[in-house]
């Protein structure tokens, strides 16, 4: 098929899978940031004793985590996971094709309109590897202690997500690694966001400049929310634990 066998088709798949990932990150960052709001309203660390979903008195973050446990989300998560795999596989394939086209192990090829001076644009593969590597680190801290026990009955389920935030980000070296991860995601997204729209035809001079600005804004909001959540959890751990 054309979409699988052509360079344009593979770039289109890469763009669509990237769009799903950005949407997921936006939802994920919003729910995480609820924990920061809870720390301002005195509900950080509060989880209902009855262990029911959407219990009265729960903080926004706990309610958000309950939402992530619903049946609809349980179906969406594997789809997003597949999208991530597709994004990584096609990203690696496109990079390999670019390397061959340029005669060797050279940087990721970018359109001339990007001026080729963007570090992120020239190192998308490196950033992708960093993001992928630390994703596994992240899954052992949260997914393995919440979704994995729920979905497959493996391990011990942690009912209080606030506690999980604090015991994870309460360690300075883990916080530092996550902040590095967030920077890598930010760099990857700032290039990937506008590149995604360029692939589907939004490549006029006027829109190109606008999309680059929008890419920075969206990436900063998402990664900033992640970073503030982690730093706030570190501070709360010093206060509550």
Give me the percent of the chain exceeding a pLDDT of 70: 85
Res 109 pLDDT > 50: no
- In 10 A of CB 161, how many CB atoms? 24
Res 35 pLDDT > 60: yes
Res 223 pLDDT > 90: yes
Domain CATH number, residue 213: 1.20.1300
Give the domain extent around 14: 2-240
**SS3 assignment, position 171:** coil
- What confidence tens digit (pLDDT) does each residue in 116-133 have? 346 777 777 788 888 888
Res 41 pLDDT > 50: yes
180-217 burial code (b ≥16 CB/10 A, e <16): ebbebbbbbbbbbbbbbbbbeeeeeeeebeebbeebee
Closest by CA to 234, choosing from 161, 165, 179, is 165
Q: How confident is the model at residue 94 (pLDDT cuts 50, 70, 90)?
A: confident
**More confident call, 24 vs 226:** 226
For the CA atoms of the chain, what is the radius of gyration?
20
- What confidence tens digit (pLDDT) does each residue in 158-190 have? 788 999 999 999 999 999 999 999 999 999 899
Per the structure, how many domains does the chain have? 1
């Amino acid at each position: 098929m054309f979409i699988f066998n052509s360079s344009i088709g593979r770039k289109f798949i890469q763009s669509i899978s990237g769009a799903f990932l950005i949407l997921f990150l936006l939802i994920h960052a919003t729910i995480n940031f609820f924990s920061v709001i809870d720390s301002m309203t005195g509900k950080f660390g509060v989880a209902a004793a009855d262990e029911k979903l959407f219990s009265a008195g729960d903080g926004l973050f706990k309610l958000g985590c309950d939402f992530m446990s619903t049946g609809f989300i349980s179906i969406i998560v594997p789809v997003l996971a597949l999208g991530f795999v597709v994004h990584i596989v096609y990203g690696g394939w496109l990079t390999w094709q670019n390397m061959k086209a340029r005669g060797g192990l050279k940087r990721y090829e970018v359109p001339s309109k990007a001026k080729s001076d963007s570090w992120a644009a020239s190192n998308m593969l490196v950033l992708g590897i960093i993001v992928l590597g630390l994703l596994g680190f992240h899954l052992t801290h949260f997914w393995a202690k919440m979704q994995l026990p729920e979905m497959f009955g493996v391990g011990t389920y942690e009912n209080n997500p606030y506690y999980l935030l604090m015991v994870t980000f309460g360690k300075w070296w883990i916080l530092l690694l996550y902040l590095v991860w967030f920077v890598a995601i930010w760099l990857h997204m700032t290039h990937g966001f506008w590149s995604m729209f360029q692939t589907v035809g939004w490549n006029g001079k006027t829109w190109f400049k606008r999309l680059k600005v929008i890419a920075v804004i969206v990436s900063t909001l998402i990664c900033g929310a992640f970073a503030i959540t982690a730093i706030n959890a570190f501070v709360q751990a010093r206060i509550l634990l």
